[in-house]
Chains A and B, each alone.
Chain A
Amino acid sequence: MKPHQEQFLAIQSMLAAGHRCVHLERHSLLLIGGVGGFLSVVTEWFITDTRFPNTDQRGIALLVWLAFWLGGMALVEHWMTRRARTRRAETLPFAQAQVTRAWWMLLSVGCLGSCAMFFYGGGGMIYALWTVLLGLGIYFYGLFSRPLIEWIGLAAILLGVAGLAAGLPYGATRWLNASCFAIGMPLAGWLNARFGDSGLPGRVAVLALWLAVVATPPLLIARYATTTVPSATPVYSVATVGLGEQVLRLEAGSRVPLRVDLDSPILTVAPDAGLDLTLTRPVEVALRDGRPDGRYRIGTGAWHTIHDGILQLRIDRIQPRLADGRAEVLTHASLDGAEFKGDTP
């Protein structure tokens, strides 16, 4: 290579280095990963419907809970980053200050979105949304930092979207989100410190390793996690239900009325109003001291808990219309799960 070409490449390289002067510090990734993973796992144990029976209260409690942890994490992370820069006798680049603001904005959107799902729905995809937000934040950093960080951000976005597109149940998306935070971020910091300057083949290998390490644990948990199977012998009548652990078996053809409890300024519902529903498949429900404890199974399938998101209720259409000279509202809903399609009763 001729000297002026070398000089030209050196200028290009230093210009790029000057533009990519943002450092996503290892402590930042540890903090983001630790707090995010903690929140993914613990939030549903803390914000429960027994502790906060009212939905609105639960939404506000979740907002305060997330704002406390994520806001605290953001402040500590910002303080530690400034201290690290000072120790290295470096100034904080303008780009880093802007990206930090964008990152805080993403966290705020995530907190508000989590709260809003209690008022407007969409809770089934909340963990996938957080995974995508995490990926976007890391990607923003990567644009001004090393390309490996950029790639890992894109990979996290891809994981969040792919999890939804692949129809992963709610519980699996929760573990995937926890893994992206708690395993993915510290691992990204370690890989960036060791292999951040690798060429294209090296980066591809590092990214494949990151994806494998992050995606494997939640998929294994989702595959092999089992709900505790009740040991009790099934009873066939509500009248025989007593204390302790029991299983109530409802045969196909059993009538299960749907009671409607509606809060509305424009409609009222009679207390005994109900919709006659009939089971098309037998269902077993686990009881604890005469009350359903959330475990169920359909037919002879596997036992699940009501919160694992296997069974999904979707109300996708509400249509006012006139029929037989009366105004009525037709609501279309579906209650199913991929696991139950084709299941024989």
Chain B
Amino acid sequence: MTATLPPLDPLLHQPARTQLVAYLSGRGEATFSELKRVLGVTDGNLGAHLGKLVEAGYLATGEATGGARAQTVYSLTESGRAALAEYVARLSALMALSAGGEPASETSLAADGQS
């Protein structure tokens, strides 16, 4: 018997973007500098990932107050939070299928992860 694998959100199925969204889910909001430090990525790389997530409506931007210079802060939107929850649920299902000995194909994971 062959199980049908749940499709994974291609936008989140990229390691840096998944980690970015997961971090913001716990942290609430973070500046570009903090995200860069936590994820250990370059400015250009982080900017590209943030742009895609903002464009998809997963992240919202705002302005941090209190400092000498204004900072853009990023936070997870409701749709971003729901997408992460859905992604984790599907990943869990995939792991359960895999652990149960079902012939879970991982080719889609590898292919989707290269965006």
Contacts and interface: CB of A to CB of B under 8 A. Distances in A.
Interface of A: 2-5, 7-8, 10-21, 82, 86, 88-94
B30 A90 contact: yes
Contacts of B64: 91
Contact of B94 (A4, A18, A92): A4
A18 B23 contact: yes
B43 interface: no
A82 to B, nearest CB: 7
A223 to B, nearest CB: 47
A7 B91 contact: yes
Main secondary structure of the interface of B (DSSP, over half): helix
B79 interface: no
Contact of B29 (A5, A8, A14, A91): A91
Contacts of A4: 91, 94-95, 98, 106, 109
A163 B95 CA distance: 50
B69 to A, nearest CB: 9
Nearest to B34: A90
Interface of B: 13, 15, 18-20, 22-34, 37-38, 64, 66-68, 71, 73, 84, 88, 91-92, 94-95, 98, 106, 109-110, 113
Given A7-B18, A10-B18, A86 B27 contact: no
B26 A17 contact: yes
A254 B13 CA distance: 89
A4 B108 CA distance: 11
B22 A11 contact: yes
Contact of A14 (B13, B22, B67, B71): B22
Contacts of B110: 3
A18 B24 contact: yes
